[in-house]
Amino acid sequence: MNPLNFICRTPTFKKQLEEMRPRLYKVAYSWCHAADIADDLVQDAVIKAIRNANSLRDMKKMNSWLFTILSNCWRDYLRQQKPTDDIDECVFTNDDTPELAQERQNITDIVQQAVAALPQGQRQVLSLVDLEGFSYAEVAEIVDIPAGTVMSRLNRARKALAEQLLELKEQNVLTQGTHIRVVK
């Protein structure tokens, strides 16, 4: 580690940490789809980052380091919620109903709903790649799984989303505006 960097990085660290907060929140939200939980996860991650700042050897790796902490916080949270389940294969309960689904016309809601319905492991990989643009190798490091698993989870996630979202698009649901339907 560069000692000069260590001395000079405190303000940089704080600044970068603050700047990273929205990005951490966005990814945390994509994992849990609940504003309060996402906020708590980010807050936990930020506190842990500050407490363990000394373990960050290279400031250039701060992004992936922070997301690793966030991923660990998320894992801890899931363990508290479902201690006996394999969290990577855990599908969150989808309490959507056809009536509610019909009311949802906003493309964002539809996509977020589809992402939320993915198994946790797939959702986590998908958001790190799509929202944060991490390389597969970085995601493997953050989530602590082999790179091959990153690729297969990402593939399964995108395939599931394609089946759901592109089918909707063909049905013209993913378009703007109000649709009038005849209900029989």
User: Could you list the residues that contact other proteins (CB under 8 A)?
Assistant: 2-4, 6-7, 10, 14, 21-22, 25-26, 29-30, 35, 39, 42-43, 46-47, 50-51, 53-54, 107-108, 111-112, 115, 126-127, 129-131, 135-136, 151-152, 154-155, 158-159, 161-162, 165-166, 169, 174-176
Can you tell me the distance from the alpha carbon of 34 to that of 29, in angstroms, rounded to the nearest whole number? Answer: 6
Q: Token digits for 139?
A: 């995601």
Nearer to other proteins, 46 or 69 (CB): 46
Minimum gap (Å) between residue 4 Cβ and other proteins: 5
Beta carbon nearer to other proteins, 34 or 85: 34
Q: Which is nearer to other proteins, 72 or 149 (CB)?
A: 149
Sign of CA dihedral 30, 36, 40, 46: positive
* Tokens linked to 180: 């009038």
CA distance 128 to 139: 7
Q: Which is nearer to other proteins, 75 or 158 (CB)?
A: 158
Spatial distance between the Cα atoms of 150 and 81, rounded to a whole number of angstroms: 24
Instruction: Classify 177 in phi/psi space as left (phi over 0), alpha (psi -120 to 50) or beta.
Output: left
Minimum CB separation of residue 12 from other proteins in Å reads: 12
